């Protein structure tokens, strides 16, 4: 957070400077009262009263201008936080969400919003005003030591309440934040499956679960709110009581002849002004505590990113892929999803990965993209560990189609261009390589057809084919496909097969599939079961080995759904698992 603090230093120093002059000018009402009671009322001079009024008016006008400026500067500091942190945190959100590791990253963006809210609240300005408590108490002491002792006792009492409020509510506020974030995440995740919820009539059950989680938040919120509200009410009451005591002590001094009425009134006003920031801090403590927690969490998040060393830029890869003894254990679990899987592909070679559902195929692909880090083993591209490749540099050389295809809001062309600046020539070239150019031209607005996540304008098969074009945009050297034909009809599957055939020998391809329409267009085949490699090698040898396994009395390797892998003509179609 050091760069952020350096950015904030200048506006916050200005806020502190304006606070200095604002608090000096806040002495005007007390001085005005002192002069009115001790001079104007005694001398009955109208001219003195007018001069005092004019001076007080000028001073208060200056205070208004300075107070307005420091409030605006506080808002500027909030904007600085948003502009400085949003791109960095969003980038980390995307990276950690892809890895599915760490705490839910949407909280990082919420923390930025919390900090911005903090810098638009009056509680933060009260933090700048609070140190003036000691200055005002010192001035009261100069007026009369007994009044000073009364002011010190009041100040210690109010500061003690602020400390107790922090100790009592700190942990509860943090737990409340976690519970509220959990309930919000549950609802957001559920709304992503709104179609299933509505179709299967699950709305009532979903709402019941969400209300249960929300009830847990309310159960935590009630005692916290009660303590916070109670402490704020107690603080307001005590401040009024302290002013009453201060006025009573001043009146006794006036009766005994040790002070003037003007001093009594002025000191009472000063004490009220001195204690006002403390009261405001206590009343705004929940927001201040949330901001403090958000700042700490963002600091931890950015520190983890800063811990990653800067990587030297590497030359463009040729597409040589090597995976050595890959082991992957699910986070926060002892379950091993992959155990000792190895493979090697030369530039331009292609590999089909097959196996039953839950065998670890998709996990292997995520390791090959470098999005997930293996528990053990390495994945190397052109001899360099994927961890050594900066993602911004590696991304353009990779093509990836996940099992669950998601397009982004925008046009078809923008999605193919990976949300970057649309180069019409490269977009059309990628579509042609994916054999999807004609299909896109048939859309209502062609390449300018808008894409919405919930729109029914594009079918799942069309989305999958557009995702292939996105994967082939630019000049990828490694293409990774996770069941790219799961939603395709006969024509779409034929176009996919033609695209893979054209890429053979040019782009290194790894594809998870259950159909031989794709297997016949690859060089090697890997069969995975229960996270382990059962067969690996050229396609013909693997199919022959599996056929021999069945011929020796051992059942062929089962796939999900009861289909079996057997040797067959390359033109035949394997049953989808």
What is the number of domains present in the chain?
2
Specify whether 337 is located in the same domain as 256: no
Q: What was the pLDDT predicted at 553?
A: 38
Q: Give 341-355 as a DSSP string.
A: EEEEE-TT-EEEEE-
Distances (CA, A) of 204 to 178, 201, 210, 211, 360: 25, 7, 10, 10, 35
Distances (CA, A) of 547 to 127, 221, 352: 77, 64, 17
Is 6 inside any structural domain? yes
Q: What was the pLDDT predicted at 199?
A: 61
Is 335 inside any structural domain? yes
Strand 532-538 to 376-381 pairing:
unpaired
User: CA 11, 16, 19, 21 torsion: positive or negative?
Assistant: negative
Specify whether 140 is located in the same domain as 36: yes
Nearest to 345 by CA among 374, 366, 319, 324: 319
CB 536 within 8 A of CB 527: yes
Angle of the 285-306 helix axis to the 145-191 helix axis, nearest 10: 60
Ramachandran bin of 377, using left for φ above 0, alpha for ψ from -120 to 50, beta for the remaining angles: left
CB 144 within 8 A of CB 257: no
> Distance from CA of residue 422 to its chain's centroid?
28
Is 567 inside any structural domain? no
DSSP code, position 388:
G
CATH number of the domain encompassing residue 285: 1.20.1560.10
CATH number of the domain encompassing residue 557: 3.40.50.300
Q: What was the pLDDT predicted at 570?
A: 34
Specify whether 115 is located in the same domain as 49: yes
Strand 376-381 to 524-529 pairing:
unpaired
**Cα–Cα distance, 243 to 235 (Å, whole number):** 12
Specify whether 267 is located in the same domain as 339: no
Specify whether 224 is located in the same domain as 344: no
Is 30 inside any structural domain? yes
Nearest to 131 by CA among 278, 310, 344, 30: 278
Is 229 inside any structural domain? yes
Q: What was the pLDDT predicted at 556?
A: 44
Phi, psi of 350 (to 5 degrees): -130, 150
DSSP code, position 471:
H
- Who contacts 354 (Cβ-Cβ below 8 Å, separation ≥6)? 361, 512, 513, 514, 519, 525, 526, 527, 528, 559, 565
Specify whether 427 is located in the same domain as 532: yes
Is 509 inside any structural domain? yes
Specify whether 199 is located in the same domain as 330: no
Beta pairing partners, 400: 480
CB 274 within 8 A of CB 137: yes
Token pair belonging to 559: 């796939």
Q: What was the pLDDT predicted at 135?
A: 87
**Cα–Cα distance, 183 to 104 (Å, whole number):** 12
Specify whether 273 is located in the same domain as 335: no
Could you say which of 246, 274, 303 is where a domain stops?
A: 303
Strand 478-482 to 336-345 pairing:
unpaired
Alpha-carbon Rg for the chain, nearest whole angstrom, is: 35
Beta pairing partners, 329: 336
Q: What was the pLDDT predicted at 561?
A: 35
CB 239 within 8 A of CB 272: yes
Specify whether 7 is located in the same domain as 148: yes
pTM: 0.64
Angle of the 424-433 helix axis to the 460-471 helix axis, nearest 10: 120
Specify whether 181 is located in the same domain as 35: yes
Strand 478-482 to 398-401 pairing:
parallel
Task: Extract long-range pairs of 524-527: CB within 8 Å, 24+ residues apart.
Answer: 524/343, 524/345, 524/349, 524/350, 524/351, 524/352, 525/351, 525/352, 525/353, 525/354, 526/341, 526/343, 526/351, 526/352, 526/353, 526/354, 527/354, 527/355, 527/557, 527/565
Per-residue pLDDT of the chain (577 residues; tens, 9 = 90+): 666 677 777 778 888 888 899 888 888 888 888 888 888 888 888 888 899 899 989 999 998 998 888 888 887 877 777 777 777 777 777 766 666 544 445 567 778 878 887 777 777 788 888 888 888 888 888 888 888 888 888 888 877 877 777 777 767 766 776 777 767 767 666 666 665 666 667 777 777 877 777 777 777 666 767 777 777 777 778 878 888 888 888 888 888 888 888 888 888 888 888 888 877 777 777 777 777 878 887 877 777 665 566 667 778 888 889 988 888 887 777 778 888 888 999 998 989 898 888 888 888 888 888 888 888 888 888 888 887 777 778 888 888 888 888 888 888 999 899 888 888 999 999 999 989 999 999 888 889 988 876 666 788 888 888 999 999 998 899 999 988 888 888 888 888 888 888 888 889 999 988 776 778 788 888 988 888 888 888 888 888 887 766 544 333 444 433 333 333 333 333 333 3
CA dihedral 557, 562, 566, 571 (to 10 degrees): -140
Is 574 inside any structural domain? no
Specify whether 397 is located in the same domain as 297: no
**Cα–Cα distance, 481 to 385 (Å, whole number):** 21
Nearest to 466 by CA among 405, 397, 398, 396: 405
Task: Extract long-range pairs of 32-35: CB within 8 Å, 24+ residues apart.
Answer: 32/56, 33/262, 33/265, 33/266, 33/269, 34/262, 34/263, 34/265, 34/266, 35/262
Could you say which of 253, 269, 303 is where a domain stops?
A: 303
DSSP code, position 564:
B
Judge residue 544's burial from the number of C-beta atoms within 10 Å of its C-beta, 0-12 exposed, 13-18 middle, 19 or more buried: middle
Domain, as residue range, for 259:
2-303
Specify whether 128 is located in the same domain as 256: yes
**Cα–Cα distance, 404 to 425 (Å, whole number):** 28
CA angle 85, 90, 96 (to 5 degrees): 125
Is 571 inside any structural domain? no
């Amino acid at each position: 957070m050091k760069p952020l603090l350096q950015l904030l230093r200048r506006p916050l120093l200005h806020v502190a400077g304006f606070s200095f002059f604002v608090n000096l000018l806040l002495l005007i009402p007390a001085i005005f009262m002192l002069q009115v009671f001790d001079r104007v009322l005694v001398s009955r001079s109208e001219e003195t009263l007018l001069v005092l009024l004019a001076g007080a008016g000028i001073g208060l006008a200056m205070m208004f201008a300075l107070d307005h400026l420091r409030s605006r500067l506080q808002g500027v500091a909030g904007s600085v936080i948003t502009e400085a942190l949003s791109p960095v945190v969003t980038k980390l959100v995307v990276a950690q969400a892809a890895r599915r590791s760490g705490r839910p990253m949407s909280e990082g963006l919420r923390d930025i919003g919390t900090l911005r809210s903090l810098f638009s609240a009056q509680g933060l300005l009260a933090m700048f005003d609070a140190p003036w408590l000691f200055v005002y108490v010192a001035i009261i002491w100069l007026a009369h030591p007994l009044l000073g002792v009364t002011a010190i006792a009041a100040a210690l009492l109010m500061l003690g309440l602020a400390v107790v409020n922090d100790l009592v509510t700190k942990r509860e506020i943090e737990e409340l934040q976690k519970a509220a974030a959990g309930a919000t995440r549950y609802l957001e995740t559920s709304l992503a499956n709104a179609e299933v919820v509505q179709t299967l009539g699950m709305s009532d059950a979903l709402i019941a679960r969400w209300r249960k989680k929300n009830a847990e938040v309310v159960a935590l919120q009630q005692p916290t709110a009660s303590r916070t509200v109670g402490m704020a009410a107690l603080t307001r009451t005590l401040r009024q009581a302290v002013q009453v005591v201060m006025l009573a002590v001043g009146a006794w001094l006036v009766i005994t002849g040790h002070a003037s009425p003007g001093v009594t009134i002025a000191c009472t006003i000063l004490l009220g002004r001195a204690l006002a920031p403390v009261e405001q801090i206590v009343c705004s403590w929940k927001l201040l505590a949330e901001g403090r927690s958000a700042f700490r969490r963002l600091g931890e998040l950015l520190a983890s990113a800063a811990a990653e060393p800067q990587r030297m830029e590497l030359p463009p890869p040729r597409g040589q892929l090597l995976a050595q003894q890959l082991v992957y254990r699910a986070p926060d679990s002892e379950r091993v999803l992959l155990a000792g899987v190895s493979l090697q592909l030369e530039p331009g070679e292609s590999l089909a990965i097959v196996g039953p559902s839950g065998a670890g195929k998709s996990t292997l692909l995520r390791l090959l993209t470098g999005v997930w880090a293996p528990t053990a083993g390495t994945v190397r591209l052109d001899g360099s560990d994927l961890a050594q490749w900066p993602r911004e540099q590696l991304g353009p050389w990779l093509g990836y189609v996940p099992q669950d295809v998601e397009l982004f809001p925008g046009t078809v062309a923008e999605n193919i261009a990976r949300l970057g600046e649309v180069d019409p020539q490269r977009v059309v070239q990628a579509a042609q390589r994916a054999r999807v150019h004609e299909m896109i031209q048939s859309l209502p607005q062609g390449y300018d057809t808008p894409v919405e996540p919930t729109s029914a304008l594009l079918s799942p098969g069309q989305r999958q084919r557009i995702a292939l074009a996105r994967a082939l945009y630019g000049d990828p050297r490694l293409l990774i496909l996770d069941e790219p034909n799961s939603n395709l009809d006969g024509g779409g599957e034929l176009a996919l097969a033609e695209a893979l055939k054209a890429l053979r020998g040019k782009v290194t391809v790894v594809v998870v599939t259950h159909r031989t329409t794709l297997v016949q267009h690859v060089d090697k085949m890997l069969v995975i079961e229960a996270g382990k490699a059962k067969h690996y090698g050229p396609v013909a040898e693997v199919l022959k080995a599996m056929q021999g396994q069945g011929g020796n009395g051992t059942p062929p390797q089962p796939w999900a759904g009861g289909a079996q892998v057997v040797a067959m003509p390359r033109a035949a179609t394997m049953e989808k698992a």
